[in-house]
Amino acid sequence: MVNYWVFPKLTIPAPYSITNMREYLLGDRAGFEAYALRDAEIAVRYALQVRNFCARELMIDRVPATIGAMAVSRFTKTLKENNMSPEVCLGTHIKTRELWLTEKQAFRTIKNPASVPSRELFETFPINCYHGGRNECFMMGVTPSDHWYDYDLAGAYTTGLLDILTPDYGNIRLSKKSGRLLWACNGICACHISVPGISSLSQPAGSDRSIWVILSIKWRIMGNGT
């Protein structure tokens, strides 16, 4: 990131405003040009820092257009560095199709990734188990006047994802024995929780539109058996 305080944007002097830059151009051409050049230089410096970050920190040769694309590039490079197949890791295979192109009077071969059958059968359930980065706490009654702190563990998602094993898509099994989930496995289960004397749980569960309380929840078992 460009350090704003070291290399700040220029300010537009009164009576001019960013809402009418043409008036600024006509009234103070030198100031207008300096403002525009500074903005351009900030953009170039930012692009250079992003390029350096990709090269030094992510060790990728090109500069992806988005942060998400950077993550994908780093992920695919990690697979290659560890001699891992993206198809085995993601449960996909390359599907080949031949299409007839009328205008060229010839066949065209198209290759696209597609899910293996076992992934297609079971992927909806684990997707529904994941609620995303949602953290909530509740307090009944009037809250006291005090300083409240929201602590965040740096790298929590990255650390958590490191514990997830590569799914063995070819050996997915169904079981009603809970003890099987205590092995060193990547397991997902649907369970029913009941508390004697309590008709509903205090733990809210999220839906697409609201928060509700349910007794049956989907429980994600991490690869380490916790």
Q: Dump pLDDT digits (tens) for 3-38.
A: 545 778 999 999 999 999 999 999 999 999 999 999
pLDDT for 214 beyond 80: no
What tokens appear for 60 in the block?
Answer: 């990728």
* CA separation for the pair 91, 85 (Å, rounded): 10
For 86, the enclosing helix (H) or strand (E) is helix 86-90
- Condensed to tens digits (0 to 9), the pLDDT of residues 173-194 reads 888 877 777 666 777 777 766 6
Residue 74's closest CA among 87, 58, 90? 58
Torsion of the alpha carbons at 200, 203, 206 and 212, rounded to the nearest 10: 30
Q: How many Å apart are CA 167 and CA 149, to the nearest integer?
A: 38
Could you tell me the two tokens for 87? 């198809």
Strand partners, 97: 110
What is the mean predicted confidence (pLDDT) over 159-175?
A: 80
Structure token pair of residue 214: 């349910």
According to the model, what pLDDT value does residue 73 have? 94
d(CA 212, CA 1): 41
First to last CA, the chain: 38
Residue carrying the six token digits 């993206």: 86
Instruction: Report cis status (omega within 30 of 0) of the bond before 15.
Output: yes
Give residue-wise pLDDT tens across range 98-124: 999 999 899 999 999 899 998 888 888
pTM: 0.58
Bridge pairing between strands 216-221 and 187-192: antiparallel
- DSSP label of 166: P
CA–CA separation, 116 and 127 (whole Å): 16
How remote is the C-alpha of 143 from its chain's centroid? 34
According to the model, what pLDDT value does residue 19 have? 92
Provide, rounded to the nearest whole percent, the portion of the chain with pLDDT above 70. 77
Amino acid identity for residue 125 in this structure: F
Q: What is residue 131's predicted lDDT score, i.e. its pLDDT?
A: 58
Q: What is the mean pLDDT of residues 53-72?
A: 92
